């Protein structure tokens, strides 16, 4: 089998969609406020003791709450749940700074007041290990201990690749893609720009004025609408 090898950043980023990982809802709380967002940058890093690492955009409200509280909860989405597209739309297509994502949404809370999805495949309660936090510029990498885990029979974890191929068009099929005329990077609203704290569901028009191409760094004025 012949491979096509690429070296430019836009093509490299596109190829990285083949990396297998899940799609989750990560939640946190600070004071009397709660929030959650979609997350795909998660991995288990050790099993003795059990730890995981997550990458969260520094501009997001969830990031702010994790920094303040030092805690977060991960809910594993169930690919067999018919409500999965609605859950992704709720937590990925709106900012918690503008709306209460948990208003009229059934959920449970931990003893620390952090919400989680009661129809998840699994739930992990985590405490950040501050000395292991890494500032990645657009993101923070939080390494955390897994203090408590909830599992149940049935269900199947949703992968990010399956979301991109099967679900995302049904979540919001009308948003248009924009292409960077300098490097060829494609801004896809259904994916957003997690590296810059832009949640899935953010249209190009709604991107902050100071947003720049994550590959080459040019501004929005260098983008053209995809044909």
Q: How many whole angstroms separate alpha carbon 216 and alpha carbon 113?
A: 41
Determine the pLDDT at residue 133. Answer: 97
Q: How many residues would you count in the chain?
A: 227
> Mean per-residue pLDDT for 66-87?
93
Determine the pLDDT at residue 173. Answer: 46
Please tell me which residue, 157 or 194, carries the higher pLDDT value: 157
Question: How far does Cα 24 stand from its chain's mean position?
Answer: 7
Q: What is the mean pLDDT of the chain?
A: 87
Q: How many whole angstroms separate alpha carbon 37 and alpha carbon 14?
A: 23
Close Cβ partners of 23 (under 8 Å, ≥ 6 residues apart): 38, 39, 40, 77, 88, 158, 159, 160, 163
Backbone CA torsion sign across 69, 30, 190, 87:
positive
Determine the pLDDT at residue 111. Answer: 95
Determine the pLDDT at residue 172. Answer: 52
Assess contact for 140 and 134: CB atoms under 8 A.
yes
SS (H, E, C) 63-99: HHHHHHHCEEEEEECECCCCCHHHHHHHHHCCCCCCC
At 20, the pLDDT band (50, 70, 90 cuts) reads confident
At 171, the pLDDT band (50, 70, 90 cuts) reads low
Determine the pLDDT at residue 227. Answer: 66
> Mean per-residue pLDDT for 170-192?
78
Determine the pLDDT at residue 4. Answer: 83
Q: How many whole angstroms separate alpha carbon 134 and alpha carbon 55?
A: 9
Beta strands in the chain (DSSP E): 24-30, 33-39, 42-47, 50-57, 71-76, 108-109, 115-116, 122-128, 134-135, 139-151, 178-180, 186-187, 223-225
> Mean per-residue pLDDT for 122-128?
96
Assess contact for 72 and 107: CB atoms under 8 A.
no
Close Cβ partners of 46 (under 8 Å, ≥ 6 residues apart): none
Its pTM stands at: 0.72
Say if residue 63's pLDDT is above 50: yes
Percent of the chain surpassing pLDDT 90: 43
Question: How far does Cα 21 stand from its chain's mean position?
Answer: 11
Mean pLDDT is lowest, of 96-110, 125-139, 164-178, 191-205, for 164-178
> Mean per-residue pLDDT for 98-102?
90
């Amino acid at each position: 089998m012949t491979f096509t090898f690429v070296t430019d950043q836009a093509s490299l980023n596109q190829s990285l969609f083949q990396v297998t990982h899940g799609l989750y809802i990560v939640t946190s709380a600070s004071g009397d406020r709660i929030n959650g967002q979609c997350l795909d940058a998660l991995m288990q890093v050790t099993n003795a003791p059990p730890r995981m690492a997550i990458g969260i955009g520094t501009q997001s409200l969830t990031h702010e709450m994790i920094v303040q509280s030092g805690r977060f909860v991960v809910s594993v989405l169930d690919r067999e749940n018919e409500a999965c597209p609605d859950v992704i739309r709720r937590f990925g297509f709106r900012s918690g700074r503008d709306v209460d994502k948990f208003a009229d949404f059934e959920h449970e809370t931990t003893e620390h007041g952090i919400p989680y999805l009661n129809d998840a495949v699994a739930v992990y309660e985590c405490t950040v290990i501050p000395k292991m936090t890494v500032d990645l510029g657009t993101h923070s990498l939080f390494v955390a201990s897994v203090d408590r885990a909830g599992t149940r029979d049935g269900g199947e974890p949703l992968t990010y690749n399956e979301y991109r191929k099967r679900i995302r068009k049904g979540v919001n099929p009308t948003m248009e893609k924009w292409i960077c005329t300098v490097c060829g990077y494609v801004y896809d609203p259904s994916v957003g720009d997690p590296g810059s704290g832009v949640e899935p569901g953010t249209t190009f028009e709604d991107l902050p004025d100071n947003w720049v191409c994550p590959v080459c760094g040019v501004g929005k004025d260098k983008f053209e609408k995809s044909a």
